[in-house]
Amino acid sequence: MSLKGQRTTTSSLDWNDFRSLIAKLERDEEFKFCLLISIGVFTGLRISDLLQLRFNQFDNDILTVLEQKTRKTRRIKINPDLKEIVDRIKTRMVVTNADQYIFLNRYGSKPIDKSYVNVKLKEIVKKYDINIDGNVSSHMFRKTLGNRVLRLNNYSNESVILLMELFGHSSPSITKRYLGLREREIHDVYDSLRL
C-alpha cells in the first residue's frame, strides 16, 4: 500500500495476458489462483475481501460481500464468463462444503494471507512469462479491471465516475491517480506540443 499522495507503481495485466493466464492456471490445476485472479479482475474487490469469500456467497449471478474496509454490503453482478469459470473450477476442486473459504490455507482452517498471495503472484508472473510494467501485487486485479473499463469507454469521464463508485473512491481524481490516468493525460499534453 502506498502512502497518501504517493503514486503506486503496481501495473495492470494486459487483457489478453489475463485471459491466457487464466487458461494456463486452470490447465496446470492452479485452481485457487485461477479463481483469485478471475474474481479479482472481474469484480474489482480488494484483496482483503477476496480472501474472505466463500462459495455460498455466489447466488446465481449475484455475489454479496461485506467490504472489510468500508463495512458496506455490496451486491456485485457476476458476468457470464466469471460465472462459468467459478462453476467449472468449483467442480474441478470437488467442493463439498460451500461454507468454507474459497482460498483456504494449507492447514484448511483459514484463508491464505495477502503476503502469500503477493509472493505467489510474483512466481506466477515469472513462470508464465507475463510482462508487467511495475510491481506485481494483488492491486493489479483492480487496476486490470479499471484499465479495461477505461479502454472500452475511450477513457471517458463517465467511465472514471463509474470506476470511482466501483472502487469506493471519494473523488474522480483519486481514481485517476490510482489508475495512472492523470500521469498519462499529462504526458499526452507534452506530446501534443508541436511546432
**List of residues 6+ apart from 124 with CB closer than 8 A:** 21, 25, 30, 33, 130
Question: Over the stretch 119-152, which tens digit does the pLDDT of each residue have?
Answer: 999 999 999 999 888 889 999 999 999 999 999 9
What's the number of domains the chain is made of? 1
Tell me, yes or no, whether 160 lies in a domain.
no
Q: What pLDDT, on the 0 to 100 scale, is given for residue 124?
A: 97
Tell me, yes or no, whether 60 lies in a domain.
yes
Tell me, yes or no, whether 162 lies in a domain.
no
Model confidence, pTM: 0.88
Tell me, yes or no, whether 26 lies in a domain.
yes
| Beta strands, E only, the chain | 58-59, 62-66, 73-77
Question: Over the stretch 137-194, which tens digit does the pLDDT of each residue have?
Answer: 999 999 999 999 999 999 999 999 999 999 989 999 999 888 887 777 677 777 778 7
Tell me, yes or no, whether 77 lies in a domain.
yes
Phi, psi of 170 (to 5 degrees): -85, -15
Tell me, yes or no, whether 195 lies in a domain.
no
Most confident of 10-14, 20-24, 91-95, 191-195: 20-24
Task: Kindly tell me the sign of the dihedral angle through the C-alpha atoms of 141, 152, 22, 43.
Answer: positive
Phi, psi of 52 (to 5 degrees): -90, -5
Distance CA 37, CA 19 (A): 10
Q: Under a CB-based contact definition with an 8 Å cutoff, are residues 121 and 136 in contact?
A: yes
**Side by side, which strands form the sheet with 58-59?**
58-59, 62-66, 73-77
Most confident of 35-39, 63-67, 153-157: 35-39
Q: Which residues constitute the domain of residue 138?
A: 15-152
CATH number of residue 129's parent domain: 1.10.443.10
Tell me, yes or no, whether 167 lies in a domain.
no
Tell me, yes or no, whether 175 lies in a domain.
no
3-state SS track over 81-103: HHHHHHHHHHHHHCCCCCCCECC
